[in-house]
Chain A
Amino acid sequence: MAHYKILIIAASLTLSGCAGMDAQQLMQLGSNMAGKVVAANKPVSEAEEIQIGHGIASNLLGAAPLSTNQRAQSYVNNVGRWVSLHTERPNLPWQFGVLESADLNAFATPGGTIFITKGLLQHLKTESELAGVLAHEMVHVLSKHHLAALQKAANLNIAGDFAGQALNTQNNPLLDKALQAGKEVYARGLDKDDEFEADRKGIVIATRSGYDPFGLPAVLQMLDSANAQDSSLALMFKTHPAPAARLSLLDKIMANNFDGYASPTQTDARFNAAVATLK
Chain B
Amino acid sequence: MKKLMVLLLLSCITLPAWADSIGYTVRNTEIKAKPFSDAATLATLPEKASVTIVQRMGGWVRISSSTGNGWVKMLNLRSSSARTGDSGLQSLFNVGRTGSSGITVATGVRGLSSEDVQNASPNPVEFAKLKNYAVNQNQASQFAQSGKLKSYAVEFVAAQ
Judge if A3 is at the interface, Cβ distance under 8 Å: no
A264 near B148: Cβ-Cβ < 8 Å: yes
How many chain B residues touch A (Cβ–Cβ < 8 Å)? 83
CB within 8 Å of B: which of A243-279? 243-244, 247-254, 256-259, 261-268, 270, 272
> A235 CA to B81 CA in the complex, in Å?
21
Judge if B4 is at the interface, Cβ distance under 8 Å: no
Chain B residues, CB < 8 A from A97? 130, 133
Q: Known: A61-B126, A97-B133. Is A252-B160 also a contact (CB below 8 A)?
A: yes
Q: Known: A94-B134, A227-B87. Is A63-B147 also a contact (CB below 8 A)?
A: no
Which one, B110, B121, B123, B154, contacts A101 given CB within 8 A?
Answer: B110
Give the shortest distance, in Å, between A135 (CB) and chain B (any CB).
12
Chain A residues, CB < 8 A from B26? 248, 251
A226 near B89: Cβ-Cβ < 8 Å: yes
B147 near A230: Cβ-Cβ < 8 Å: no
Interface residue ranges, A against B (CB under 8 Å) = 54-55, 57-66, 70, 73-74, 77-79, 81-82, 84-86, 90, 93-97, 99-105, 113, 117-119, 122-123, 125, 127, 183-184, 186-188, 196-197, 200-201, 204, 207-214, 217-218, 221-222, 224-228, 230-235, 238-239, 242-244, 247-254, 256-259, 261-268, 270, 272
Interface residue ranges, B against A (CB under 8 Å) = 10, 13, 15, 17-18, 21-23, 26, 37, 56-59, 74-83, 85-90, 93, 95-97, 103-105, 109-124, 126-127, 129-131, 133-137, 139-141, 143-144, 146-160
